[in-house]
Chains A and B, each alone.
Chain A
């Protein structure tokens, strides 16, 4: 004899199962937020390595603590934070084998003391740092790097991401393959920008005794200087052109004789003011444009 099954009972069991399944799936895909606070005594060092997609935002505060706020794909991304003294190590990585790695994301918001050393590395998201004074090394594959009012020895390395640096001071090094570099209103004493196919725009003062080197393999290199600047200019391009739109302000170079560069037709040497800073611009096949700001 077949046992009797109550259809109503069966339906409720199925419904409960479906609800459980749906909720577990939703939990697994939903972002998981966490915030942790770390007290620090002196200048902290914050190291963040994000090997999944995601954005990193760093802002400063007057408090002697580092706040790490993260939002990551639940149950698929592991976020680890560890403190040893004044050093905070943060990492985000995929948990186990993942069929859709591009869907994995971990976004970070860090609040740090003004004087903090940063070492940040991500894959695709934006790195944004504002009002932090301290040496920093920022690396990204495809994500852009935006810096605002930062100071120190700044190293930015990207594969395809671009740099936008506004009101930065100190020393800046930028290396990229296809990323652009835009430096606005800087107070930088030492600048080294290099990209293979990206463009470079430097819009700001050249500080006396500063050294400024900008190189682009194929892209445009454009500098906009002001009336008060004082620098020696050396601009060279192999296959491109030097577009000098500030010829009224550039005097022939009074310091050195560049026999090597003078071999090439597409070069320009000149001095603005007393020639106190040194500006070297070069491009393999791109244009070099020199402008004076109004």
Chain B
């Protein structure tokens, strides 16, 4: 699997009607074309997400139209909208209940950083404080095309994942955790305020 077939030889074989593939390619091809999102929306971004799934933008072209009402059947979590601190534990819990491999799209300014409500006492400053995010989409709200772009980026990411070797996909790694600690309601804020294992904010340098 690690030693790939020569591209020229493969093309030559294809001309003769012989298709050669590897387990890894087959797996990634199947995975990336059947990404089932978890069906939930948090705020205005959810309206754009609904529009993406509807006939005009038609997420079904990418195999992602099957929005699942249960985390047990979902591959992708689209965090579409403002995550309030009241809602954050539920989101993390839902993410924990999704089976591996699972992916997260952080849709819109709010899900990335709190967006226009960043100063709000009740708004989480980005869902990546608690769960690992694969694709971020800026915008307020992002247009359906942007969500489609994020979807294609995720497909590209899945297409490049390895089945074996040192750099194999994270969910195939035995040590890689699948459940993340759920924050609890503290006296003033969620506790902990962020998961230090996955949240690495860029250091601010001031001259």
A and B associate: no
